[in-house]
Amino acid sequence: MTDSLNRRNFLKLVGLSGVASTVGCGTPPSRKLISLVMPSEEIVPGEAIWYATTCRECLSGCGMRVRTREGRVTKVEGNPEHPISQGGLCIRGQASLQGLYNPDRIQSPFRRNANGTIEPLGWAEAESQLADRLSALENTADRNKIVFLSGHNGDTLDRLIRQWMTALHSEHYLIYEPFSLVTIKEANRIAFGRAEVPDYSIAEADYLLSFGADFLETWLSPVGFSRGFAAIRNYREDRRGKIVQVEPRLSLTGANADEWVSLQPGTEMWIALAMARYIVTEGLSVELPPAEIRRLGILLEPYSSNRASSVTQVPEETIERLATEFAGASAGLAIGGGVAVTGDNATATQVAINLLNHVTGRVGQTIRFDRSFQVPDTAGLSALRGLVDSINRGEVEVLFIHHTNPIFNLPPDLGFSAALQKVPLVVSFSSFSDETTDLAHLVLPDHTPLEQWGDFRPAAGVHSLMQPAMNPVFDTRSTGDVLLELAKQMGGDVAEAFQVQTFQDYLKDAWKQTYGEVAGEDFENFWQESLLRGGIWPSRSSGMESQSVDRRARVGLLPQIFDFPFPPAPTKGPAEFFLHAYPSSRYYDGRGANKPWLHEIPDPITNVVWDSWVEVHPETARQLNVVEGDLLHVESAVGHVEAPVYIYEGVRPDTVAIPIGLGHESYGRYAKDRGSNPSVLLPVAADPLSGTQVWSGSKVKISKTGRRSELVRTDGSRTDLDRGFSRIIPLSALTATAVPSEEVHHQEPEHESLSMYPPHDHKDYRWGMAINLSSCTGCGACVAACYAENNVPVVGKELIARGRHMAWIRIERYMENVSATPDIRFSPMMCQQCDNAPCEPVCPVYATMHSSDGLNVQVYNRCVGTRYCSNNCPYKVRTFNWFDYQFPEPLHLQLNPDVSVRSKGIMEKCTFCIQRIREGKDHAKDEGRLVRDGEVVPACAQSCPTQAIVFGNLLDPNSTVSKLADQQHGYRVLEELNTKPAITYLPRIKRI
């Protein structure tokens, strides 16, 4: 026998050819364990490597840890040490993986010729062409015709762009973000002379009054605020804080509040002013200088409760009660944000909220200017109108567009799209072919945030780093590097402005300049440590508090405030409705629309997937004679959209609400031609004080089209029919029986006798979970984390319509009551890992069985697919692979190698992340001990921004989960069936 064909190979060949000839499908593609020719030394097959970086899906700047396996990113998680995210991560952060591996990413640079054809370019060619073009603009005046329009950039990239633009002698660097926080800055400048966004200590508040701020969804820093929310909502020292949400449409945040004050859109200012007036006149305010009280009295005089009530349609008593409660709270906090306060009086509203906070002494207490958020000075609509005008005047020669999609977000009437076509050269750095990039002449695709260097300062004292967690998936290049290369090629003074070759060096230099003193001698060491940690911030024990010396230092009102002209009330015609276009917690401003997970995971409130809709009040629906799924024509003065009706009691009868984020004309296969974009309804209007775009309060007419477009929802029933899936408990019941009683602990023996079979013998572990429904906000981050960790396939709208949703964990939303005291419940539901599992005895082949750790395990290889286990599961948490599902390239690179990808015909379900348990047990075994509490954390629990999910060993009486599971008010779902679930739910504490 020759070397090439020994016995072993011969047998393999015979076997293979035999199989190939019978099956008739050629040889499988070659698979490599490590897909690199020369693997890096740190890559050990089977071992995950974690990199700390920063999430860039919104402006919060949450610290993130990225898990890589064999050189590719497979999962992102919140960085537990990071002060913003504190270990949690939201649904969009989890889905950032699908930005990295998006199958519709721009894979290499190209040029779009005049006739629209696309000509691929090499990087060298593209850069030299662009450098030549820029060099051709010789004199300073011409160079000033270069405009750089960008989304909010990280600190150092921002600095580089500024420096680069300065070197080119252009002063036109604009930052455009659709959801701007400039109004808050501006209002604080007007009221307190501090143009900052302060930190809001939600966690310390016991009375949170939110004027439309969707702080659990998109506003400012949702992950951090969610943690604060959990602190308010949970039982502490016999009481529980209160959250009041003032907004025209009950958002997810509102659904989690204790009280919903529904008011006419755009009139939030009146509530805040009337409350402030009531507090001042009734002497409920904190001690203020008499002169100030007098002047405030004059300023607030017109805003009597009575008048505010007629403008806002909120009862007078409510306003006064809120004022009394707010003033009486020991740590009250009023915040304003979200689109509810992005009318043309946005800044004035924020000023009013500032006054309210001021008179109750909240500034310096729960509002902290000593550690403010770092919010960029974004260009408002006014600035973009200026840009359009300059383009039309021919004053723009080259326009760079970086990570922003103004065509999608701006009102079409602004004419940005038409203007863009007049610019001689539009260069886009976008990673995706979105609406704006489709008009670019030269596209130089940037890395996605997970592939690049950078840094970000979300808040004062917090400086996060970004580092590439893997080699670029495609032939893309970091914009920072491109700019440096362009500078180098342009030569002369532009080249001289930069000493470094790469953006990585630039970043490091910048850090050296900033932290040279802190780092001391050994900067390299400091740099490596910062990279490991994910940046620098004051450590939790010493840091934040010690820095805040001036916490109590008064931030006082400016004298000019007493002359502040508050604008008059908005009006609308009789046949008109207010339009409430709100940011989706999944799509944000639309940038999430190309990520299939975000489509597949239902909207937390409506439970609709893969679509957008118009929310209509039942009364309005009755008048229009429409039912859910009827296509509605929504028309404003400037445009119109069509979208199917969703009937929702949480929107006012005089208002219709449409989520922002869908309705793309481009942006890849998942986003294109899906849903509708409410931006086209918006007039070109800006808040006069801050110049920001007006999102809310536009007037629309609605009419029935007579056509239908079925909405696909995941909820089979709006309520849980008192079946105890999601329970609430009044605070009073909890305080009355706060002392844990003995009998609660010992219900078990009674249950044991109910089985014919001997009880399971769990030696060291019985894994279990406790889910605190007081903390759960229904955001869906856990669901996204589970999709990423467990290779759960995305099946699409049509299959979800047929009940084939594959999620292993879902948030069951029960709308028990939508009123001033909303009772919308969220309950994460996944495999309950029953001790007496109904699925186990019915499987004919032992494909599902009980493990020695108390897990209900599913053996994929053994499963023949009878589906009896699913039929017999009272929780219906098992999902069946009706087909072989696809992971379009390169999304398949995201698959977690520790988890099998399931094939058609088999059942699957939540495993409590058994791969993580296995890893934890292996580590413990190596060290000859048992797994410690908190050592193993399933993906859902890890991601939860409020830590509502706690996992651990129920056999360990000292574990957190055991203690929670022993809580007297805890319950197990459908316990009466004697399934003995391993998950204990702690009911939502209702504040009565």
Q: Which of residues 837-866 bind another protein (CB under 8 A)?
A: 838, 841-846, 862-866
> Which of 617, 810 has the CB closer to another protein?
810
> Which of 413, 715 has the CB closer to another protein?
715
Helices 346-359 and 182-192: crossing angle in degrees, nearest 10, is: 50
* Residue of 226, 204, 216, 205 whose CA lies nearest to 86: 226
> Which of 594, 870 has the CB closer to another protein?
870
For the CB of residue 794, give the shortest distance to another protein in the complex, in Å.
14
Q: How far apart are the C-alpha atoms of 517 and 529, rounded to whole Å?
A: 15
Distances (CA, A) of 460 to 82, 196, 368, 537, 931: 13, 11, 11, 9, 38
Report yes or no: 767 and 834 within 8 Å, Cβ to Cβ.
no
For the CB of residue 257, give the shortest distance to another protein in the complex, in Å.
23
3-state secondary structure (DSSP) of residue 769 = strand
CB atoms within 10 A of CB 461: 18
**How far is Cα of residue 820 from the mean position of the Cα atoms in its chain?**
27
3-state secondary structure (DSSP) of residue 113 = coil
CA dihedral 337, 343, 346, 350 (to 10 degrees): -50
> Which of 18, 491 has the CB closer to another protein?
18
Contact with another protein (CB under 8 A) among 437, 870, 946, 959? 870
Per-residue binder mask for another protein (CB under 8 A), 301-320, x = binder: --------------------
> Which of 651, 906 has the CB closer to another protein?
906
Through-space distance between the first and last CA atoms of the chain, rounded to whole angstroms: 85
> Which of 543, 905 has the CB closer to another protein?
905
Looking at the chain, the number of H-run helices and the number of E-run strands are 34, 36
Q: Which of residues 686-715 bind another protein (CB under 8 A)?
A: 714-715
497 binds another protein (CB under 8 A): no
959 binds another protein (CB under 8 A): no
> Which of 332, 838 has the CB closer to another protein?
838
Report yes or no: 656 and 636 within 8 Å, Cβ to Cβ.
no
882 binds another protein (CB under 8 A): yes
Per-residue binder mask for another protein (CB under 8 A), 611-630, x = binder: --------------------
Geometric angle at alpha carbon 655, from 654 and 658, rounded to 5°: 160
Strand partners, 634: 641, 702
For the CB of residue 88, give the shortest distance to another protein in the complex, in Å.
25
Size of the site for another protein (CB under 8 A): 53
How many residues does the structure list for the chain? Answer: 992
Residue 833 DSSP symbol: -
For the CB of residue 759, give the shortest distance to another protein in the complex, in Å.
16
For the CB of residue 622, give the shortest distance to another protein in the complex, in Å.
23
Contact with another protein (CB under 8 A) among 425, 510, 531, 974? 974
Strand partners, 632: 643, 704
For the CB of residue 887, give the shortest distance to another protein in the complex, in Å.
16
Q: Which of residues 361-400 bind another protein (CB under 8 A)?
A: none
Per-residue binder mask for another protein (CB under 8 A), 803-842, x = binder: xxx----x-xxx--------------x--------x--xx
Q: How far apart are the C-alpha atoms of 499 and 505, rounded to whole Å?
A: 9
> Which of 506, 875 has the CB closer to another protein?
875
> Which of 867, 963 has the CB closer to another protein?
867
Per-residue binder mask for another protein (CB under 8 A), 887-916, x = binder: -----------------xxxx---------
Q: How far apart are the C-alpha atoms of 780 and 944, rounded to whole Å?
A: 9
Print burial letters for 860-869: b (CB count within 10 Å at least 16), e (below 16): eeebebeebb
Q: Which helix (H) or strand (E) holds 630?
A: strand 630-635
C-alpha atoms less than 13 angstroms from C-alpha of 249 in its C-beta half-sphere: 33
Are β-strands 118-120 and 110-112 bridged in parallel, bridged antiparallel, or unpaired? Answer: antiparallel
725 binds another protein (CB under 8 A): yes
For the CB of residue 844, give the shortest distance to another protein in the complex, in Å.
4
Report yes or no: 69 and 897 within 8 Å, Cβ to Cβ.
yes
> Which of 72, 825 has the CB closer to another protein?
825
> Which of 177, 812 has the CB closer to another protein?
812
874 binds another protein (CB under 8 A): yes
> Which of 249, 909 has the CB closer to another protein?
909
Strand partners, 992: none
722 binds another protein (CB under 8 A): yes
Q: How far apart are the C-alpha atoms of 140 and 142, rounded to whole Å?
A: 5
Strand order in the sheet with 63-69: 48-54, 63-69, 72-78
Contact with another protein (CB under 8 A) among 879, 896, 959, 984? 879
> Which of 74, 848 has the CB closer to another protein?
848
3-state secondary structure (DSSP) of residue 871 = helix
For the CB of residue 722, give the shortest distance to another protein in the complex, in Å.
7
793 binds another protein (CB under 8 A): no
> Which of 723, 929 has the CB closer to another protein?
723
Report yes or no: 862 and 878 within 8 Å, Cβ to Cβ.
no
Report yes or no: 221 and 458 within 8 Å, Cβ to Cβ.
yes
Per-residue binder mask for another protein (CB under 8 A), 770-789, x = binder: --------------------
For the CB of residue 774, give the shortest distance to another protein in the complex, in Å.
20
Contact with another protein (CB under 8 A) among 262, 612, 881, 946? 881
Q: How far apart are the C-alpha atoms of 936 and 949, rounded to whole Å?
A: 13
Residue 239 DSSP symbol: B
977 binds another protein (CB under 8 A): yes
Of 63-71, 228-236, 430-438, 872-880: span binding another protein (CB under 8 A): 872-880
> Which of 10, 883 has the CB closer to another protein?
883
755 binds another protein (CB under 8 A): no
- The site for another protein (CB under 8 A) is made up of 714-717, 719-723, 725, 799, 802-805, 810, 812-814, 829, 838, 841-846, 862-868, 870-872, 874-876, 878-884, 904-907, 974, 977
